[in-house]
């Protein structure tokens, strides 16, 4: 035992230094996962945190953007402990407490992507630099997602993508700070392929009309990979400009091409127009090679089905989620969203709501807003109760893996919202792939 | 052979749409000397007259939708169907052609208000000012439509009897494989009728003769004691009606959205320039020419030789024509040359 009466100057200095070190380190020992690093938009001791919702509020996907925004507002409400809680009641394993995120009330700022990459980057930059957004989320286009994801990586801000379906988002353009809950073109092909084979047989000739940008290219590539894989021929693959309006000059060559299937790799307004016009040109009444001519739309949404009217009836496609699902999570979300807004959520709304909850939950798990730790909490995170069955955020590419729905335009809708009939729920194992096939590098945790 | 005929048919059909919009543009430019960038918005307003008329025809009573159990949802039963049964359903079915009757007075009013309220203040201003103000007006109109109807296209069905395709091949002895949508054929005929009517009005009526005289020499016509300004207002309203009814009839082909006018505007200006500024005949001829050229350039056989040519062909043709005939196909000397 130390005899304090005999302390010399050297011993006093030693004890003093040790004591100072212990005192200095004490907060780190007593607060879980506390990080000394400073980071952009660190809320520090503020009572609120701000999330940035970057959605198309104008332009061709404005209605989809409006639905995304509704979902985000609902998610904020639920995170702050208001309303009925929605999927917070079914999400497992959950660290969410209904008192905001890490005890801080959630607020938000919004931006308009206009479905233009430069406008989307500008609004995200404004939300990060001026509004102090801690996380950016939203969007209805892969071009926009890739552009904003790149900006977020440079800025050290996490990006939880909205509706983006190109393989590139979590493939060659993947980023450490970017996460996608939505499924992708490869998964659409993998889910839809076997159903097409079963419904239309192995001997078919397909004609592709493809939107000329990143999503269209990867959608066509994936559809060709799977349909050619079981024996279909590809008669032609024609790129069409985005927003062409009148597609008649692209549809007339299909009539005499010898093809008996038209695959429309179009989305949104383009899909509504090309499908409407293909039906007007009598393609669905046509017989080629002794078979009924068929039209396939690989990526479907209820909002699009609404726009296409009766033309969508009987047409096969795939979707990320549909409000008619009967699982506990979907029901909770539809009930909550329907009570708030009077109509069911779209698949874009679903993915945006889930992304917000997942980010909040990752912060709670990490015990910090420090992005590298939040990223680590999201990587490899397995969860359920969010409407798609057991789901995993794959660490290698930040792509969510879950069951995929193959749907058909409902022939006999029971309500104005009952536009898509689920033909098959393709299990996750059937749509999984090696992360290496699409290349890309995630990049560093610290930027 | 089938492929060639269908491309010609498609080209003529597209050309008719271009010609119809370009006709109104040329009419306004030829008479008032105004470069009207809001003309596409008038086409869009016409289309939304059809949407509005359809909404009126399908005004409904809300009935609780018992099939939706998770929240309170309502389905709609149109009053016309409740009151008149099958006759009511038939009226709803023919909503698009009937909406022409609704669109005409509205477009006359829109044209009159636009010309008296805004355009006339810019008659003597430079073309750049006219372009700016009419472009601004187009943006205001499309944002108003977006705020009222949303951004998504709103499909409008052709009458059920005209929803399918006509067996054009069997009409000309080429078999059953050559088909073309009934409604597009009707649109083609309708365009021809409107173009003919406008020409007949200008050519064979005294009113038209005065307008043509005003197009040539406004001052002299004024010195003869004719109120040419008032006649020009009516011409502007007529151009608005032409654009409006073209928009109405186009709705079953392309579900209307707030942006559809802008999509057509640029092409229509190319048509007007290629046809010759201020030349009605030139606008019609150029519309059909460019429609057919664009249709052929979209054939896979052509694109295999010249990839992407379908995207630029209209502008290439415009460059070639303007290099060889700087005033366009039928342009008059002195128009926009000061």
- pLDDT tens string A285-322: 888 989 999 999 999 888 888 888 888 999 999 999 99
Minimal Cβ distance to A282: which of B146, B165, B254 = B165
Average pLDDT over residues B315-337: 82
pLDDT category at B73 given cuts 50, 70, 90 is: confident
Say if residues B248 and B96 touch (Cβ distance below 8 Å): yes
Query: Using CB atoms, which residue from A256, A286, A338 is nearest to B70?
Result: A338
Query: Is there a shared CATH topology between the A48-183+323-402 domain and the A186-319 domain?
Result: yes
pLDDT value of position B225: 85
**Under an 8 A CB cutoff, do B254 and A245 touch?**
yes
Indicate the residue of A60, A236, A249 with minimum beta-carbon distance to B295: A249
Q: Which two tokens stand for residue A171?
A: 């493939």
Average pLDDT, chain A: 90
User: Which residues of chain A neighbour B252 with C-beta distances below 8 Å?
Assistant: 280
Is ipTM over 0.85?
A: no
Which residues does B20 contact at the CB level (< 8 Å), separation at least 6? B191, B194, B195, B242, B243, B246, B287
User: How far apart (Å, rounded) are the C-alpha atoms in residues A60 and B152?
Assistant: 7
Strand ranges for B172-304 from DSSP E: 180-181
Residues from chain B contacting residue A236 (CB–CB below 8 Å): 300
Q: How confident is the model at residue B220 (pLDDT cuts 50, 70, 90)?
A: confident
Structure tokens at A31: 């607060």
* Burial bucket for residue B265 (CB in 10 Å: 0-12, 13-18, 19+): buried
The answer for B232, left when phi > 0, alpha when psi is -120 to 50, beta otherwise, is: alpha
Q: What is the pLDDT of residue A16?
A: 54
User: Collapsing DSSP states into helix, strand and coil, what is residue B85?
Assistant: coil
Q: Which of B140, B147, B138, B153 is nearest to B265 (CA)?
A: B138
Mutation test of the interface with chain B: which of A252, A268, A311, A345, choosing the one with the most B Cβ atoms within 10 A? A252
For chain B, percent of residues with pLDDT exceeding 90: 41
Cis peptide before A438 (omega within 30 of 0): no
* pLDDT digit string, tens, across residues B313-322: 999 999 999 9
Nearest-by-CA chain A residue for B5: A252
The helix or strand, by DSSP H or E, that contains position A391, with its residue range, turns out to be: strand A391-393
**Residues A2, A335: Cα–Cα separation, whole Å:** 69
Domains of chain A by residue range:
48-183+323-402, 186-319
Torsion angle defined by CA atoms of residues A137, A142, A147 and A153, in that order, rounded to the nearest 10 degrees = 50
Architecture of domain A186-319: 3-Layer(aba) Sandwich (3.40)
pLDDT, tens digit, 9 for 90 and up, residues A218-267: 999 999 999 999 999 999 999 998 877 789 889 988 988 899 999 999 99
Chain A residues with beta carbon closer than 8 angstroms to that of B10: 248-249, 252
Integer Cα distance of B328 and B338 in angstroms? 16
* Pairing, β A135-138 against β B165-166: unpaired
For A51-74, what is each residue's pLDDT tens digit? 999 999 877 678 889 999 999 999
**Least confident stretch, A166-180, A418-432, B281-295:** B281-295
Within 13 Å, how many C-alpha atoms sit on residue A43's CB side? 20
Distance (Å, rounded) from C-alpha A215 to C-alpha A240?
A: 13
Q: Give the best-scoring range by mean pLDDT among A20-34, A424-438, B214-228.
A: A424-438
Q: Give yes or no for residue A24 having a pLDDT over 50.
A: no
Euclidean distance between CA atoms B53 and A71, whole angstroms: 33
**Domain segments of chain B as ranges:** 2-324
Its CATH class, for the domain covering A48-183+323-402, is alpha beta
- In a mutational test of the A interface, the residue from B9, B93, B152 whose CB has the highest number of chain A CBs within 10 Å is B152
Q: What is the mean pLDDT of residues A4-23?
A: 54
| pLDDT tens string B260-314 | 888 788 888 898 889 888 788 898 999 999 999 988 888 888 888 888 888 889 9
């Amino acid at each position: 035992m130390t005899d304090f009466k005999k302390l010399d100057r050297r011993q006093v200095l030693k004890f003093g230094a040790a004591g100072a070190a212990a005192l200095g380190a004490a907060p780190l020992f007593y607060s879980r996962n506390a990080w000394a690093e400073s980071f952009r938009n660190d809320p520090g001791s503020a009572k609120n945190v701000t999330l940035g919702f970057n959605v198309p509020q104008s332009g061709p996907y404005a209605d989809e953007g409006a639905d995304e925004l509704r979902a985000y507002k609902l998610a904020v409400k639920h995170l702050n402990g208001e309303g009925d809680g929605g999927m917070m009641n079914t999400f497992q394993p959950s660290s969410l407490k209904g008192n905001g995120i890490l005890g801080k009330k959630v607020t938000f700022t919004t931006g308009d992507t206009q479905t233009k990459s430069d406008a989307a980057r500008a609004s995200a930059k404004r939300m990060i630099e001026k509004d102090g957004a801690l996380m950016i989320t939203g969007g209805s286009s892969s071009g926009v997602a890739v552009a904003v994801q790149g900006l977020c990586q440079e800025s050290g801000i996490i990006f939880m993508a909205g509706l983006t379906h190109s393989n590139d988002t979590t493939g060659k353009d993947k980023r450490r700070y970017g996460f996608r809950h939505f499924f992708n073109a490869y998964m659409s092909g993998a889910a839809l392929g076997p159903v097409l084979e079963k419904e239309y047989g192995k001997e078919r000739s397909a004609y592709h009309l493809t939107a000329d940008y990143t999503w269209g290219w990867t959608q066509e590539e994936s559809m060709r990979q799977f349909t050619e894989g079981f024996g279909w021929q590809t008669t032609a693959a024609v790129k069409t400009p985005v927003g062409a309006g009148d597609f008649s000059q692209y549809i007339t060559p299909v009539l005499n091409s010898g093809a008996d299937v038209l695959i429309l790799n179009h989305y949104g307004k383009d899909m509504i127009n090309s499908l409407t016009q293909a039906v007007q040109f009598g393609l669905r009444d046509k017989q080629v090679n002794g078979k009924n001519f068929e039209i396939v739309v690989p990526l479907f949404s209820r909002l699009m089905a609404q726009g296409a009217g009766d033309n969508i009836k009987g047409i096969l496609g795939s979707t990320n989620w549909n409000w008619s699902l009967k699982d506990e999570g979907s029901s909770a979300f539809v009930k909550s969203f329907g009570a708030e807004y009077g109509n069911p959520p779209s698949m874009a709304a679903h993915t945006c709501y889930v992304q917000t909850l997942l980010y909040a939950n990752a912060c709670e798990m990490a015990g910090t807003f420090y992005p590298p730790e939040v990223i680590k909490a999201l990587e490899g995170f397995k969860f359920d109760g969010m409407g798609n069955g057991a789901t995993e955020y794959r660490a290698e590419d930040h792509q969510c893996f879950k069951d995929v729905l193959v749907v058909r335009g409902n022939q006999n809708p029971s309500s104005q919202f009952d536009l898509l009939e689920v033909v098959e729920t393709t299990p996750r194992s059937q749509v999984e792939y090696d992360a290496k096939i699409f290349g890309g590098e995630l990049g560093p945790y610290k930027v | 052979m089938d492929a060639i005929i269908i491309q010609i048919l498609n080209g003529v059909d597209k050309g008719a749409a271009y010609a119809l919009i370009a006709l109104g543009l040329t009419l306004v430019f030829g008479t008032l000397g105004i470069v009207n960038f809001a003309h596409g918005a008038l086409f869009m307003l016409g289309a939304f007259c059809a949407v509005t008329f359809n909404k009126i025809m399908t005004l409904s009573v809300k009935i609780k939708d018992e099939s939706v159990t998770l929240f309170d949802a309502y389905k709609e039963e149109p009053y016309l169907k409740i009151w008149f049964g099958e006759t009511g359903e038939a009226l709803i079915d023919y909503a698009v052609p009937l909406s022409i009757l609704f669109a005409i007075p509205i477009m006359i009013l829109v044209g009159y208000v636009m010309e008296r309220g805004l355009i006339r203040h810019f008659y003597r201003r430079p073309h750049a000012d006219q372009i700016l103000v009419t472009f601004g007006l187009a943006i205001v109109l499309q944002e108003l439509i977006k705020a009222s109807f949303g951004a998504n296209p709103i499909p409008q069905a052709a009458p059920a009897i005209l929803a399918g395709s006509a067996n054009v091949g069997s009409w000309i002895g080429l078999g059953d494989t050559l088909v073309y949508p009934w409604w597009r054929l009707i649109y083609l005929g309708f365009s021809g009728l409107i173009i003919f009517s406008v020409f007949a009005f200008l050519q064979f009526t005294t009113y038209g003769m005065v307008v043509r005289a005003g197009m040539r020499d406004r001052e002299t016509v004024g010195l003869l004691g004719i109120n040419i300004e008032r006649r020009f207002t009516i011409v502007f309203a007529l151009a608005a009606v032409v654009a409006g009814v073209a928009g109405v009839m186009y709705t079953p082909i392309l579900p209307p959205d707030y942006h559809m006018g802008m999509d057509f505007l640029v092409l229509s200006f190319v048509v007007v320039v290629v046809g010759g500024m201020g030349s009605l005949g030139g606008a019609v001829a150029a519309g059909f020419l460019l429609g057919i050229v664009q249709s052929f350039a979209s054939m896979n056989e052509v694109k295999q030789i010249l990839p992407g040519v379908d995207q630029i062909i209209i502008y290439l043709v415009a460059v070639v024509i303007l290099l060889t005939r700087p005033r366009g196909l039928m342009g008059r000397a002195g128009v926009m040359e000061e």
